[in-house]
Chains A and B, each alone.
Chain A
Amino acid sequence: MSNARVSSSFRDPSGYLFTRNSVLYRQVNQSYAKAFDKFISSGLYDELTGRGWLVAHKEADVKADNPELAYKVLQPDLVPFISYPYEWSFSQLKDAALLTLEINKLALSKGMILKDASAFNIQFVDGKPLLIDTLSFDSYRKGSAWDGYRQFCQHFLAPLALAALVDIRFMQLSKNYIDGIPLDLASSLLPGKTRFGLSGLNVHIHIHAKMQQQYADKQSAGNNAGLLTKEALINMLNGLIQTVEKLTWQPKGTEWGEYYSATNYSDESLKQKGELVGSFIEKCKPSSLWDLGANNGLFSREAAKRGIFTVASDIDHAAVEKNYLTVRSQGEKNLLPLVIDLTNPSPAIGWANSERESFSDRGPVDMLLALALIHHLAISNNLPLESVAEFFAASAKWTVVEFVPKSDSQVQRLLATRKDIFDHYNEEGFEEAFTRYFSIIEKKPVSGSERTLYLLKKK
């Protein structure tokens, strides 16, 4: 039996995740037995899973990873793809924040409390946020404050406030700060007006940052020693909910957000392209797919609607935000929109570079879609076509690539302001580079354009 502890699962002594023969388990330690029993007997677990707020599990009748410490072994339902807060759109992070606060309120009503508030504990399944850490609950102790409050402000409130009030690109900042944005940094970056008024940011970010500095080396009085009533704590959570709800982001002047209305594609060609992509998908029958450069997910849905789990990634926050809002409002399944810059995808971060996986380490998948993408990689980013082919081949067995020739107006736009140094950027050069790694299974022109769709199979 090969056991492996999940590398990100080490902070909380209540238990940890491990895999055995490719099955994911969660060991609950004896030190957490009392809290775990209360979590179940109070009805909190049933209520949370009934509302779809917490990942469900079953008790597994298998040997524990570390029997000396173990109280129980659980087998949690699997999440199809682990994504990270720095890959989420604004509303994804906001929904995850609100879920965390609502879960905490529900826990308090059952005599328990969230003991942390890590954004990494939230994942998205079928367009909805879901808490995946079953061991995040402790017994509520009368008069105590919320131990996860600082983490909540760092993981959720600070990036949301910076994205909403300063620049959406601050969503990426948590890549640098694995335990959330330091509050003194957020405080110095936020506009001065947030120091005043009733937004809540004055207290939760600015005063909070000051207090942290002031009390940095002072011992806490045993979690406030009974000063905060439960009502006051719930008041504070309601205040945080209001603060988060007031933060909004409206994409404007976006690069690709309006892409489909700004292309040289007619509705008819878009429809034909969708049908072609759909026929390729049906031919290969993948069980998982990444749509790279997915924009608002128009073609990702060709896979998702066929029941195939699909990650729709794009560099553009506005496009991903729109995609997520559509998934959420339509209750669409199997589709996960993420903000990924393919020329600089998420790295592996954290301790020993193994806490949070890089984007490519979370593959490979069965199939890639790279539609209207190749010119951005090859021309805007000067990537040799062989490198693109090599990366695609490492990521999936099947790949659909749309080749966009130089004569296409979108490529002309990219070349308008620079010297054309791309002698090999043509159909011949494309096929030569890609056939090093792939066999061409199908090649179809996209009607009403000069573009070509290739269905490629890895050699």
Chain B
Amino acid sequence: MPNILFKLNYLDPGSGSLLVQLIAAGLVGGVGILFKVFWGRIVAFFKGEKYVPPAPESDEDDEEEA
């Protein structure tokens, strides 16, 4: 399925702004999440690979949570 949701994002959310939200969402959670983000980068660095961000949990509308 084409990723129509991304096409609808007409604002550039800004990479920095997205990361700040992780911090703002809660310091404890934020540290955990940042660790999660950067652990992937650290591992990739030592393996000499290009870092590939984890795939989203779901590309579909999140109907269950609605």
Contact = CB atoms under 8 A, between A and B. Distances in A.
Interface of A: 11-14, 31-32, 34-35, 38, 42, 110-112, 115-116, 138-151, 153, 200, 203-204, 207-208, 210-216, 218-228, 230, 232-233, 235-236, 239-240
Nearest to A207: B20
A140 B65 contact: yes
Interface of B: 4-11, 13-26, 29, 33, 36-37, 53-59, 61-63, 65-66
A149 B66 contact: no
Given A142-B56, A214-B16, A223-B13, 6 more contacts: A140-B62, A144-B56, A147-B9, A149-B20, A149-B21, A228-B22
Contact of A233 (B7, B25, B55): B25
A111 B62 contact: yes
A146 B19 CA distance: 11
Contacts of A140: 61-62, 65-66
6 contacts: A11-B10, A14-B10, A115-B9, A141-B5, A207-B20, A225-B56
Contacts of A208: 16-17, 20
Contact of B61 (A139, A145, A220): A139
Contacts of B7: 31
B65 A142 contact: yes
Given A235-B26, A236-B25, A226 B14 contact: no
A146 to B, nearest CB: 6
Given A35-B8, A211-B17, A220-B13, A110 B24 contact: no
Q: Which of B4, B10, B20, B54 has its CB near the most chain A CB atoms (within 10 A)?
A: B20
A220 B22 CA distance: 13
B4 to A, nearest CB: 7
B63 A111 contact: yes
Nearest to B21: A145
A413 to B, nearest CB: 50
Contacts of A110: 66
Nearest to A111: B66
A211 B16 contact: yes
Contacts of A239: 24-25
Nearest to A234: B25
A78 B1 CA distance: 39
Contacts of A144: 56
B23 A212 contact: no
A212 B21 CA distance: 12
B56 A115 contact: no
B66 A224 contact: no
Contact of A218 (B13, B15, B23): B15
A233 B33 CA distance: 13
Contacts of B21: 145-146, 149, 224, 228, 233, 236
B58 to A, nearest CB: 5
